Structure 1
Amino acid sequence: MTAKQRYFIELAYDGTKYHGWQIQQNAVSVQELLNKALATILRQPIETIGCGRTDTGVHAREFFAHFDLEVNNPLAMDDSQQAEESKSTDHGLSTIDYGLKVRGLNSLLPPDIAIKNIIQVHEDAHARFDATRRSYQYHIHFHKDPFLHGYSWMVRDVPNIMLMNQAAAIIMEYTDFSCFSKSNTQVKTNNCKITRAEWIKTDQGIVFHISADRFLRNMVRAIVGTLMMVGKHEIESGAVRAIIESKNRSNAGTSVPACGLYLTEVKYPYL
């Protein structure tokens, strides 16, 4: 059995042109392009496992995936890199090699996907299951701006941010968020521990910041849609309690457009 070394790869991407992170049939995804680039650079088949799955059009300022590389496989190194083998550890990527691979990957990938780092980790490290906190931002602006188009949601009327923050504080009191989850998702639990949920004013508009140990599919966009109902005085802030306790997706607000959503941070105990 061939021994393998596990690595984390850190990347960022503009999700506008992609059908999310995860490989899809008949659609281009970030994972598909990354796997192909890694296989080209490392000269062996590579399959990545991501820290989560972002939906079509969602952006990521920080995203992690892991992959395994055969130990001491000479195909993973070119001649100049093999000459540096004396400086390497007992795995397929030499110490000096990380920067070379990052530059090589970035030269193969399109401009809207950027590799930041490759990190050696222990063999059981898992990009998805080991993450202890994930953070998202949702951006909203109120005036037409060609430089925000596709990267922020434009709405006409400014909502009441104070009321939305009151409702956001209520959300943090709960753990079962079935009402904000896309239906028919194959997860064992809809429980999440939210540690931050607040709206902040910016020069360009408003940004919703949310952090939790995990998120359900479509959860952030459904939360933002519900909080916008509060901000537009369509429901009272206290009505959020009834929505959450109903555990019924149809009672929550409409999911807001993907363009304003960014995965901004993923935390691990060993990074």
Structure 2
Amino acid sequence: MVEDTLQRFFLEIAYDGTAYHGWQVQDNALSVQQKLNEALHKILRCAIETIGAGRTDTGVHAKQLFVHLDAPTDRIPHESRFLHSLNALLPHDIAVYRILPVDQDAHARFDATERAYEYHVHFRKNPFLLNKSWQLRDAPDVALMNEAAQFLIGTQDFGCFSKSHTQVYTNLCSVTRAYWQETDEGLVFHISANRFLRNMVRAIVGTLLDIGLKTKAPESILDIIDSKDRAMAGTSVPAHGLYLTKVVYPYIDTTF
């Protein structure tokens, strides 16, 4: 096969992360990327390398994640048939919604301009929310948490919310949206930024819940951010309440 027969594609996927040790392929652990690569290999009958918009940790879910790959165009003659075949090979907890031809230099990770997450909590025992939302015993003060969440907006060093010993070039992130919303079952925290550090959303949620339960004042989040010290922030909340919900690119419609 010669190189000029390859076309770069984006796949839009979604998954329930309960059964997986995150998105990224790893030794001796089942991942979403592994199952996707295996299914693509069977259909395309060649070695396939996928690159995702980011990594999700064990138990975290994705309502929208984009992946890029290079594949021979003659093996994807009909997009709808390809999607049907790929979904038939994937387990029930992983779905592919779209395949999009893109420029050869398009990159699912580096070209993303915004990512959005949700964190779900509920208060009443509900078997249908098992591994999908975190059950809290006490209801926090939503107004206090939303007051504190506004201090997250802007470009700041969020090292205090990052998992220790991660290899990143900077801890600066630009947060554009952060707020709590009341639902019939409980609460959902929404946050959007150009990038996120490892464990950042779960640490932010834990910190805001401390404020909502009145163990800290809303403005204390400013001192926590200034400290750049993970020990100053709250405990990371469980992974199963976290969802990657949106990834934005300048050249594709991600609201489909």
TM over 0.5: yes
Structure 2 equivalent of residue 69 of structure 1: 71
Q: Separation in 2 of the partners of 1:178 and 1:238?
A: 18
> Does residue 144 of structure 2 align to residue 163 of structure 1?
yes
Structure 2 equivalent of residue 54 of structure 1: 56
> Does residue 95 of structure 2 align to residue 114 of structure 1?
yes
- Give the counterpart of 1:43 among 14, 36, 45: 45
2:3 partner letter: T
Asked if the contact 1:15–1:60 (Cα under 8 Å) also holds between the matched residues in 2, the reply is yes
Structure 1 equivalent of residue 183 of structure 2: 202
Structure 2 equivalent of residue 177 of structure 1: 158
Tell me which moved more, 185-194 or 62-71.
62-71
TM-score by length of 1: 0.91
Asked if the contact 1:172–1:197 (Cα under 8 Å) also holds between the matched residues in 2, the reply is yes
> Does residue 113 of structure 2 align to residue 132 of structure 1?
yes
Structure 2 equivalent of residue 87 of structure 1: none
The percentage of counterpart residues that share the same residue type is 58
Pairwise CA distance, 1:14: 0.1
Structure 1 equivalent of residue 25 of structure 2: 23
Q: Separation in 2 of the partners of 1:138 and 1:269?
A: 26
TM-score by length of 2: 0.96
SS of 1:192's partner is strand
> Does residue 249 of structure 2 align to residue 247 of structure 1?
no
Cα deviations across residues 5-30 of structure 1 (Å, max 9, x unaligned)? 10000110000000000001100000
Cα deviations across residues 93-122 of structure 1 (Å, max 9, x unaligned)? 33xx11111110111111000110110000
Q: Separation in 2 of the partners of 1:70 and 1:175?
A: 43
Structure with larger Rg? 1
Q: Separation in 2 of the partners of 1:138 and 1:70?
A: 38
Tell me which moved more, 225-234 or 63-72.
63-72
Asked if the contact 1:48–1:66 (Cα under 8 Å) also holds between the matched residues in 2, the reply is yes
Q: Separation in 2 of the partners of 1:107 and 1:70?
A: 20
Asked if the contact 1:6–1:120 (Cα under 8 Å) also holds between the matched residues in 2, the reply is yes
* Distance 1:127-1:240 versus aligned 2 partners, 3 A rule: same
Q: Separation in 1 of the partners of 2:248 and 2:96?
A: 17
2:48 partner letter: I
Pairwise CA distance, 1:70: 3.3
Asked if the contact 2:87–2:95 (Cα under 8 Å) also holds between the matched residues in 1, the reply is yes
1:53 partner letter: R
Cα deviations across residues 148-204 of structure 1 (Å, max 9, x unaligned)? 111000000000000000110011145110000111111101111000000000011
Structure 1 equivalent of residue 15 of structure 2: 13
Q: Where does the alignment leave 5 or more consecutive residues of structure 1 unmatched?
A: 77-92
SS of 1:193's partner is strand
Q: Separation in 1 of the partners of 2:215 and 2:173?
A: 26
Q: Separation in 2 of the partners of 1:135 and 1:36?
A: 28
Pairwise CA distance, 1:69: 1.2
Q: Separation in 2 of the partners of 1:264 and 1:14?
A: 12
Asked if the contact 1:2–1:71 (Cα under 8 Å) also holds between the matched residues in 2, the reply is no
Structure 2 equivalent of residue 80 of structure 1: none
1:41 partner letter: I
Q: Give structure 1 regions of 4+ aligned residues with deviation exceeding 3 angstroms.
A: none
SS of 2:173's partner is coil
Asked if the contact 1:181–1:217 (Cα under 8 Å) also holds between the matched residues in 2, the reply is yes
